[in-house]
Amino acid sequence: MKTILTLTVGEFELVHDVLSLLIAAMGASTLFFLISGKQVAERFQSLLLLAGIITAIGCYHAIRLFHSWNEAFELAGNSYAASGHFFHELYRYSDWALTMPLLLVEMILILGLPHEKATSLLRRLIGAALVAIFFTYLGGSSLGEHSLLSNWSYWVLSFIPFLYLARILIQEVSRETLQQMVPGATFCLRARNLFLVSWAFYPVASFVTLCSHGLGEKGMVTFLVGASVADFLSKCGVSFYLYRAAKAAR
């Protein structure tokens, strides 16, 4: 993300407060999932452990983003000016690269599919997720540095694997959920929908950025707040729905 030159006090504190809430939500979710293992059947206890790992990773990266945000700006009169320290949004991309594949493992694990079928689905889902994240990172890091054509190319290259991933989740995973008569299938489908909606925030936000030829301070603050909400929904929200599904299967 490019360095923002100046922010109002309200803009700076909004991102500061949202990241603080994200840290608290991720930390509380981690504790919840780790102590809730006995509330589900033994075969689903690894799912709760995985959920705790996902939110713990999210909590760590939220802490890193929080400190990087505070270091990137300093109060200068009635506004916040760039301090000379770079705001490291790379933490968010590394967080996605770790947690998105784990979330997909969660969504397949709850189905109780045969090993070969589950492995086939995960290979395609995780492969598409990592390709989408890679090109999203290239697009975000090159915004304003490369030509508009290059930036649009990165967006398209990140959006295609997202569509492929969405097709698998909507068609194949939904079909397996119904065929396997998974207890708590409603919660599984809600988890899938929430995962897709939260991920869709990023291509939509990138599309708006490209159409407007970049974002100003207000736009960037809006993006950071929206990304934090999307992170909460994808990690805490999806894992909670899968916890409800596992609990229903007990």
Domain count, the chain: 1
Residue-wise pLDDT for 65-89, tens only, equals 999 999 999 988 888 988 888 888 8
Domain contains 44: yes
Range of the domain at 199: 6-248
What is the predicted pLDDT for the residue at 215?
64
Percentage of residues in the chain having pLDDT higher than 70: 92
Domain contains 128: yes
Alpha-carbon span 113 to 121, nearest angstrom = 10
Residue appearing with tokens 């890193």: 64
- Give the global pTM: 0.90
Neighbours of 3 (CB within 10 A): 12
Distance of CA 164 to the CA centre of its chain: 17
Alpha-carbon span 58 to 44, nearest angstrom = 22
Domain contains 56: yes
Which CATH number do you get for residue 119?
Answer: 1.20.1070.10
Domain contains 206: yes
CA within 13 Å, CB half, 174: 13
Task: Single out the residue of 188, 174, 191, 190 nearest to residue 248, CA to CA.
Answer: 188
Average pLDDT value over all residues in the chain: 89
Domain contains 136: yes
Alpha-carbon span 246 to 226, nearest angstrom = 29
Residue 18: pLDDT band with limits 50, 70, 90 = very high
Average pLDDT over residues 173-187: 78
Domain contains 1: no
